[in-house]
Amino acid sequence: MATMLALVEEGDEVIVFEPFYENYVPDAAMSGAKLVFVELRAPDFALDPEALRAAFSARTRAIIVNTPNNPSGKVFTRPELEQIAGLCQEFDCLCITDEIYEHILYDQHEHVPMATLPGMYDRTVTISGLSKTFSVTGWRLGYVLAPPVLSDAIRKVHDFLTVGAPAPLQEAAGIAMEQADAYYPELRGMYDAKRRQLYSALRDAGFECHLPQGAYYIMADFSHLGFPGDDYAFARHLIENIGVASVPGSSFYRDGKGAKLVRFTFSKSPETLAEAAARLARM
């Protein structure tokens, strides 16, 4: 929010990939930006170079890249990021990244920070945080890395929005980050096991879904379950009759496209996931 309010003006266009993390829409609304969407499709959510280029215009101020992605689990590849970087330079615009799941990756997928690509440091605002990596979502502790010409304005807006993150939490974050090198592989291993556990439970229950490449969510298509209603009705049915919570898919799309999808998280204990599997099996 601070980055958008600081760097985007009324009427500027900001490109967002769909499905998207819900907050980008209110962030854009409050900064006066117009969002331009580029759809990525299951199962691999690969980037379509033509659709991407078509989204850029003389009015483009920024593109938001969330990798690894919530909700799709997509991890943008280096060639995909290079395409985005090339267009940012051609159209002289900023890249705002959301890399909060940077340490939660599976199989051979690697996280490439946009700011490390040639020519991109000066035009990239890298955003990350402690919530996911250190399982402290309640702390809401994040950070922004950007060249001074950009971070000057972001720091001012941030000061007016929140004043600052609580100092004791910042101290704890510093200690955690200093000691984390050995912890990151452990984190990945833990989530890989949970990823497979939830994926099997969903497949066994009749959902159509794919193993995510990163982050800790699975988008599941319930079309084949014979449920008559939309994603909101289905999510309510799951809570009331099955005892499992999910997020309706349309939260991550503009209009109607998520109506047969719900998003589950596997950021839960193995016991909770096992119980969820048992409940889903009763559907």
Ligand X SMILES: Cc1ncc(COP(=O)(O)O)c(C=O)c1O
Instruction: Show the binding pattern over residues 43-82: x = contacts ligand X (CB under 6 A), - = does not.
Output: -----------------------x---x------------
- Residue 100 or 218: the one with the smaller Cβ distance to ligand X is 100
Least distance from ligand X to the Cβ atom of residue 217, Å: 8
182 by Cβ neighbours in 10 Å (0-12 / 13-18 / 19+) ranks as: exposed
Cβ neighbours around 32 below 10 Å, total: 13
Give the separation between CA 69 and CA 5, rounded to whole angstroms. Answer: 23
Residue number, nearest CB to ligand X: 131
In the chain, where does DSSP find H-type helix?
A: 2-7, 24-31, 49-55, 78-90, 148-162, 167-178, 183-204, 231-237, 270-281
Give the separation between CA 276 and CA 105, rounded to whole angstroms. Answer: 23
Least distance from ligand X to the Cβ atom of residue 227, Å: 26
| Residues sharing a CB contact under 8 Å with residue 51, sequence separation 6 or more, in sequence order | 38, 39
- Residue 6 or 68: the one with the smaller Cβ distance to ligand X is 68
Residue 71's DSSP bridge partners are none
| CA 160, chain centre distance (Å) | 26
- Residue 77 or 131: the one with the smaller Cβ distance to ligand X is 131
Least distance from ligand X to the Cβ atom of residue 263, Å: 11
| Helix and strand numbers, DSSP H then E, in the chain | 9, 10
Give the separation between CA 50 and CA 109, rounded to whole angstroms. Answer: 24
Instruction: Show the binding pattern over residues 244-273: x = contacts ligand X (CB under 6 A), - = does not.
Output: ------------------------------
- Residue 60 or 97: the one with the smaller Cβ distance to ligand X is 97
From the list 37-45, 137-145, 174-182, 190-198, the region that binds ligand X by CB under 6 A is 137-145
Of 135, 137, 162, 223, which lies in the binding site for ligand X, with binding defined by CB under 6 A? 137
Least distance from ligand X to the Cβ atom of residue 21, Å: 4
Least distance from ligand X to the Cβ atom of residue 131, Å: 3
Least distance from ligand X to the Cβ atom of residue 67, Å: 9
- Residue 91 or 133: the one with the smaller Cβ distance to ligand X is 133
99 by Cβ neighbours in 10 Å (0-12 / 13-18 / 19+) ranks as: buried
Q: How many residues bind ligand X (CB under 6 A)?
A: 10
Sheet holding 261-265, edge to edge: 208-209, 217-221, 261-265, 247-248
129 binds ligand X (CB under 6 A): yes
Q: Which residues bind ligand X (CB under 6 A)?
A: 21, 66, 70, 98, 100, 129, 131, 137, 140, 142
